[in-house]
Amino acid sequence: MTLSFVLDPPLTDTLRTQIVELWAEVTNAGGAVGFVAPVTAGDVRPVAEAAFAGVEAGVDRLLVGVDGGRLVALLFVVDNRFELKAHWRVLKRVMVAPGSQGRGYGVALMREAAAVGRKMGLTGLQVTLRDGHGLDAFYRGLGYAEVGRMPGALRVAPGDDRDEVLMWLDLR
């Protein structure tokens, strides 16, 4: 594995395009990153631009994983924008390129996010997932605990409602 991480890389036009393309690719491969397949880059771009705005404002952070110069993983470390929650963050849009899965990149990405959180002085990280993908076991293996579940909160298709699961990693 030649995966390396960059925290808060410059959001060049090229990187923005790569992130949007990865986001669409992950969604279309069945990933639960805010959309239901099929999507195009045009569908993803407005949501991505809102995420980029938080990073550019210095409120949120962007962590990218690169292998051989290619973007293969990313997540956003998102501020709660509420003073009483300033001591923890939410990890959003956690994704690994479909062709790079099975190489340990997801584990490495999440471990790096925990290291970033500790360096930021945070006491915890939350990640929310869509039930039905087996991701709860992945996060449990990294030390996250399920702390909440909203039954049927996510409607991915008519008649297909999924639980939204909240997972927590205590960094103390």
Site of tokens 């297909």:
160
Percent of the chain with pLDDT over 90: 98
Q: Confidence class of residue 162 from pLDDT cuts 50, 70 and 90? A: very high
At 105-136, the pLDDT tens digits run 999 999 999 999 999 999 999 999 999 989 99
Average of pLDDT values for 137-155? 98
Q: Does residue 166 register a pLDDT over 90?
A: yes
Taking alpha carbons only, the member of 44, 103, 45, 116 closest to residue 76 is 116
Strands (E) across 8-144 are located at 61-67, 70-78, 88-96, 124-130
Residue 135: both structure tokens together: 């991701």
| Closest alpha carbon to 76 in 59, 87, 61, 64 | 61
pLDDT the model gives residue 72: 98
In this prediction the pTM is 0.97
Paired residues of 154 in beta bridges: 162
Instruction: Identify which has the larger pLDDT, 149 or 133.
Output: 149
**Distance between CA 169 and CA 147 in Å, rounded?**
10
Residues 27 and 117: their CA atoms lie apart, in Å, by: 26
pLDDT given at position 1 = 62
The mean pLDDT of the chain is 97
The mean pLDDT of 93-109, rounded to a whole number, is 96
Distance between CA atoms of residues 89 and 86, nearest Å: 7
Q: Tokens in use for 157?
A: 């298709």
Return the pLDDT at 167: 98
Q: State which H helix or E strand residue 157 sits in.
A: strand 145-157
